[in-house]
Amino acid sequence: MISLANPTRFLSLVDRVVPWLSALVVIVLGIGLYLSLFVAPPDYQQGETVKIMFVHVPSAWLGMFGYMLIAIAALGTLIWRHPLADVAAKTAAPIGATFTFIALVTGSLWGKPMWGTYWVWDARLTSMLILLLLYLGLIALWQAIDEPGRAGRAAAILGLVGAINIPIIKFSVDWWNTLHQPESIFRMGGPTIDPSLLTPLFVMAAGFTALFVLLHLIAMRAEILRRRVHALQQTQVERAALAEA
Partner 1 sequence: MSAGFALLAREVRLAWREGGAIGVALGFYLIVVVITPLGLGPDLNLLARIAPGILWVGLLLAALLSAGRIFDNDYEDGTLDVLATGPLPLPVVAGLKCLAHWLTTGIPLVLLAPILGLLLNLPMGTFPSLMLAMLAGTPAVSFVAGIGASLTLGLRRSGLLLALLVVPLYVPILIFGVSAVTPYVSGPNSIWPPFFILCALSLASVVLAPLAAAAALRTALR
Q: Closest separation between CB of residue 105 and partner 1, Å?
A: 19
Q: Which is nearer to partner 1, 172 or 199 (CB)?
A: 172
Is residue 158 involved in binding partner 1 (CB under 8 A)? Answer: yes
Q: Closest separation between CB of residue 150 and partner 1, Å?
A: 5
DSSP state of 44: T
Contacts of 49 (CB under 8 A, 6+ apart): 43, 110, 113, 114
Please identify, among the stretches 21-29, 52-60, 158-166, 229-237, the one whose residues bind partner 1 according to the rule CB under 8 A: 158-166
Is residue 165 involved in binding partner 1 (CB under 8 A)? Answer: yes
* Interaction pattern, residues 15-54, with partner 1; x per rule: CB under 8 A: ----------------------------------------
Q: How far apart are CA 176 and CA 191, in angstroms?
A: 26
Q: Which is nearer to partner 1, 10 or 135 (CB)?
A: 135
Is residue 172 involved in binding partner 1 (CB under 8 A)? Answer: yes
Could you give the angle at which helices 85-115 and 123-144 cross, rounded to 10 degrees?
A: 150
Q: Please select the residue that binds partner 1; options are 109, 114, 169, 214, rule is CB under 8 A.
A: 169
* Interaction pattern, residues 132-151, with partner 1; x per rule: CB under 8 A: -xx-xx--xx--xx---xx-
Question: Closest Cα partner for 110 from 43, 38, 199, 204?
Answer: 43
* Interaction pattern, residues 77-96, with partner 1; x per rule: CB under 8 A: -x------------------
Output phi, psi for 41, to 5 deg.
Answer: -75, 150
Is residue 218 involved in binding partner 1 (CB under 8 A)? Answer: no
Q: Closest separation between CB of residue 130 and partner 1, Å?
A: 5
Contacts of 29 (CB under 8 A, 6+ apart): 204, 207, 208, 210, 211
Please identify, among the stretches 4-12, 49-57, 129-137, 236-244, the one whose residues bind partner 1 according to the rule CB under 8 A: 129-137
Q: How far apart are CA 235 and CA 226, in angstroms?
A: 14
- Give me the DSSP letters along 63-129: HHHHHHHHHHHHHIIIII--TTHHHHHHHHHHHHHHHHHHHHHHHHHHHHHHHSSS----HHHHHHH
In DSSP terms, 47 is beta-bridged to 43
Amino acid at 14: V
Footprint of partner 1 on residues 93-122 (CB under 8 A)? none
- Give contact residues for partner 1 (rule: CB under 8 A): 78, 130, 133-134, 136-137, 140-141, 144-145, 149-150, 153-154, 157-158, 160-162, 164-165, 168-169, 171-173, 175-176
